[in-house]
């Protein structure tokens, strides 16, 4: 996964334009996504699809012609959606269009101006301090024109038309945790989904954040409300620090229960962020009237780590093990969902495990625990609890229960059903 992050890293993405398309074309090498274009000006809920932005080059050169700030070196140097300019100006005039972070003097900040037309450059604070009074050549070769918004989706049909929904975003330029970890982990998760036997149908989308999810919802809301039983917004899943989730509006959906159960299994110290700390597309999916059962999954959540939205969110912050942990977190949530049926024991009173050969034949260390877990599972297999509920009632994980469920089903001791 880290290689794919590295390959996508240099591309200058924005909420529309060629960077998104190039990114999605590369992901198409891995998974069968379909790419959709929505024309500029299309009304999408309370918004309108914006004009498409593209940029070829940009720099600030001093009077000697030396490029001091150069888009070719780092695409964060130019404001996202910056208007074009080709002028000479004094330092004091230029200075009003510069943005840097005094507290992080080696970081180039990430700034966009999607909804107000202006131009600007981001640079490290060290670079800024070195600028001397001079006549600067300021050049941005960008274009804001009618075009379209690009997103991609793929659907993996299952036995049922009930859906599990995954969403991630592809609109940030060269930053690794926010955001390339999201689409890359999601791509590899989609490859895994393709291979497994599926009870549920899976819908995976790659959209620009906010305007992309709003666009997608405006086209598919009825379908999603009817079919989606749980979903996850996958963002910032590539560093080696926290495991966390962002709760849905009331924190009480199936997705919330699954995420908390899976994250406790992965890392008992995981963090549950309130919906008040939302910030990615769960904002749209959990908005009033949309009301989808969707939870955000993150390692270090956007806004909580110092490198966030700067050039320091790079290929060192995101690591192979960090990405593997993010992948594991998502996979565990999906596994827990796939096995989350209701169970009912088929006999009255305690079942006779002995006559079915369900007692461990050799008494080894741990075998008593297995019998205890088995009996506890059966005690709460009363048809009112799904597997995650049973697991939480008896203090184990669903992964400890899966082999027991398989044995019990095979022996005819329990019935499995959906609610």
* Tokens representing residue 14 in the block: 């924005």
- Distance of closest approach, residue 59 Cβ to a second copy, in angstroms: 28
139, 275, 399, 402: residue in contact with a second copy (rule CB under 8 A):
275
92, 102, 115, 362: residue in contact with a second copy (rule CB under 8 A):
115
| 3 state DSSP class of 213 | helix
* Tokens representing residue 353 in the block: 């495990």
Distance CA 65, CA 147 (A): 34
Distance CA 55, CA 141 (A): 6
Contact 76, 174 (CB under 8 A): yes
Q: Does 283 bind a second copy (CB under 8 A)?
A: yes
DSSP state of 84: P
Query: Which residue, 337 or 378, is less far from a second copy as judged by CB?
Result: 378
Q: How many residues does the chain have?
A: 419
Which range touches a second copy (CB under 8 A), out of 10-18, 69-77, 211-219, 293-301?
211-219
218, 272, 314, 415: residue in contact with a second copy (rule CB under 8 A):
218
Query: Which residue, 116 or 132, is less far from a second copy as judged by CB?
Result: 116
Q: Give 320's contacts (C-beta < 8 A, 6+ positions apart).
A: 1, 2
Distance CA 162, CA 337 (A): 12
- Distance of closest approach, residue 306 Cβ to a second copy, in angstroms: 19
Number of H helices, E strands in the chain: 12, 19
* Tokens representing residue 357 in the block: 């050969």
Got the DSSP string for 35-96? EEEEETT-EETTEE---EEEEEEEEEE-TT--EEEETTT-GGGB-BTPPPEEEEEEHHHHHT
65, 102, 289, 366: residue in contact with a second copy (rule CB under 8 A):
289
Q: End-to-end CA distance of the chain, in Å? A: 37
133, 268, 354, 366: residue in contact with a second copy (rule CB under 8 A):
354
Distance CA 12, CA 87 (A): 23
Query: Which residue, 151 or 200, is less far from a second copy as judged by CB?
Result: 151
Q: Does 98 bind a second copy (CB under 8 A)?
A: no
Q: Does 350 bind a second copy (CB under 8 A)?
A: yes
Tell me the per-residue interface mask from 379 to 398 with a second copy, x by CB under 8 A, - otherwise.
xxxxx----------xx---
Q: Does 60 bind a second copy (CB under 8 A)?
A: no
352, 367, 369, 406: residue in contact with a second copy (rule CB under 8 A):
352
Q: Does 26 bind a second copy (CB under 8 A)?
A: no
Query: Which residue, 47 or 139, is less far from a second copy as judged by CB?
Result: 47
Residues near a second copy, by CB under 8 A: 45-47, 115-116, 210, 213-214, 217-218, 221, 249, 275-276, 278, 283-284, 286-291, 344-345, 347-352, 354, 376, 378-383, 394-395
């Amino acid at each position: 996964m880290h290689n794919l992050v590295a390959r996508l890293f240099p591309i200058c993405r924005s909420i529309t334009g060629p960077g998104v398309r190039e990114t999605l074309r590369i992901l198409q090498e891995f998974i069968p996504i379909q790419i959709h274009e929505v024309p500029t000006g299309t009304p999408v809920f309370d918004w309108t699809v914006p004009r498409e932005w593209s940029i070829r080059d940009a720099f600030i050169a001093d009077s000697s012609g030396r490029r001091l700030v150069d888009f070719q070196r780092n695409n964060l140097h130019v404001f996202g959606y910056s208007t074009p300019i080709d002028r000479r100006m004094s330092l004091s005039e230029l200075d009003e269009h510069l943005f840097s972070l005094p507290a992080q003097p080696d970081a180039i900040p990430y700034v966009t101006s999607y909804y107000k037309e202006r131009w600007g450059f981001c640079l490290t604070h060290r670079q800024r301090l070195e600028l001397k009074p001079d006549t600067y050549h300021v050049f941005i070769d960008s274009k804001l024109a009618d075009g379209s918004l690009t997103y991609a989706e793929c659907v993996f049909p299952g036995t049922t038309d009930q859906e599990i929904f995954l969403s991630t975003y592809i609109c940030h330029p060269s930053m690794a945790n926010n955001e390339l970890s999201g689409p890359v982990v999601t791509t590899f998760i989609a490859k895994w989904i393709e291979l497994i036997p599926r009870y549920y149908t899976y819908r995976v989308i790659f959209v620009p954040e906010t305007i992309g999810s709003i666009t997608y919802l405006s086209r598919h809301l009825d379908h999603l409300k009817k079919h989606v039983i749980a979903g996850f917004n996958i963002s910032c899943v590539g560093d080696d620090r926290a495991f966390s989730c962002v709760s849905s509006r009331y924190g009480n959906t199936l997705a919330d229960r699954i995420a908390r159960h899976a994250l406790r299994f992965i890392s008992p110290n995981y963090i549950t962020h309130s919906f008040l700390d939302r910030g990615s597309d769960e904002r749209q999916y959990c908005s009033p009237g949309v009301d989808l059962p969707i939870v955000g999954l993150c390692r270090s959540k956007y806004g909580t780590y110092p490198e966030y939205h700067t050039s320091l969110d790079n290929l060192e912050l995101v690591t192979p093990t960090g990405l593997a942990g993010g992948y594991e977190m998502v996979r565990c949530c999906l596994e827990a969902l796939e096995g989350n049926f209701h169970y009912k024991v088929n006999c009255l009173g305690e079942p006779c495990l002995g006559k079915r050969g369900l007692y461990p034949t050799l008494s080894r260390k741990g075998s008593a625990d297995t019998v205890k877990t088995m009996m506890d599972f059966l005690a709460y297999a009363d048809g009112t609890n799904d597997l995650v509920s049973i697991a939480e009632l008896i203090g184990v994980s669903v992964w400890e229960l899966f082999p027991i469920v398989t044995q019990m089903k095979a022996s005819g001791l329990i019935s499995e059903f959906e609610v």
